[in-house]
A and B are shown apart, each in its own frame.
Chain A
Amino acid sequence: KQEVTQIPAALSVPEGENLVLNCSFTDSAIYNLQWFRQDPGKGLTSLLLIQSSQREQTSGRLNASLDKSSGRSTLYIAASQPGDSATYLCAADQGGSEKLVFGKGTKLTVNP
C-alpha cells in the first residue's frame, strides 16, 4: 500500500528566498508522481508531473526531482513570491494502479 509523507507540514519564508519541499513514498513501483498546489477551499492545480523514467521536470521557477530508488521527490521553488503562498501536495500512484495517493501537504507562507 502506497503511503506518501511530506515534510515540513508548514513553512514560512521571506519573499525572494529559494526553498525546497520534500516528499517521500513507500512503494517505488510508481508510474507517475505529481505536485499540486491548492489554495484554501479551492481546487487542485497540477504543477509538475514526473514520470517514473524521468529524474526531474521544470516549469518556470519550479523544479521537481524524483529518486525512485530512495522513494523521494523534492519540489524546488526559486525566488519565492507572496503569490506562491498555498498548500503544496505531492501525490504518487500505486504500482499497478493509476489512483493517486496524496501526502498531507506543506502549507507555504511567503511573507512580503
Chain B
Amino acid sequence: DGGITQSPKYLFRKEGQNVTLSCEQNLNHDAMYWYRQDPGQGLRLIYYSQIVNDFQKGDIAEGYSVSREKKESFPLTVTSAQKNPTAFYLCASSIVGGNAYEQYFGPGTRLTVT
C-alpha cells in the first residue's frame, strides 16, 4: 500500500534537546511538506521541498531544520532554539506537475517537550 509514514506517533523530550521526526513516503511524490498544528489552530507550514536537495522555509521555520537527501524521505529536526516545540506535527506529500493536486498526509507525530 502506498502512503506516508511518520514515526514515532508520540515523542517526549526534555527541554534543550534536539529531536528528529521521521517522514517517509512511497507515493513517488516530488513535493513534501512539514506542518505544525496547535490546539484550535489550522496547519502552519514549517518547510517544504519540491525536489531532492532543495527546500524552502515556510511561515514558521525558525527553530527547525530539514534535509531532503532522498525523494522518499524528509526528516524534520526540532532544535533547542524552537521556543515552544510541543505540538502535533504533520508531514504531507504531493505531485508537482499538473493543476489539481492533493496533499496526502501522514498520521502525525505528537511531540511533548518538558
Q: Do A and B come from one complex?
A: no
Chain B residues with CB under 8 Å of chain A are: none
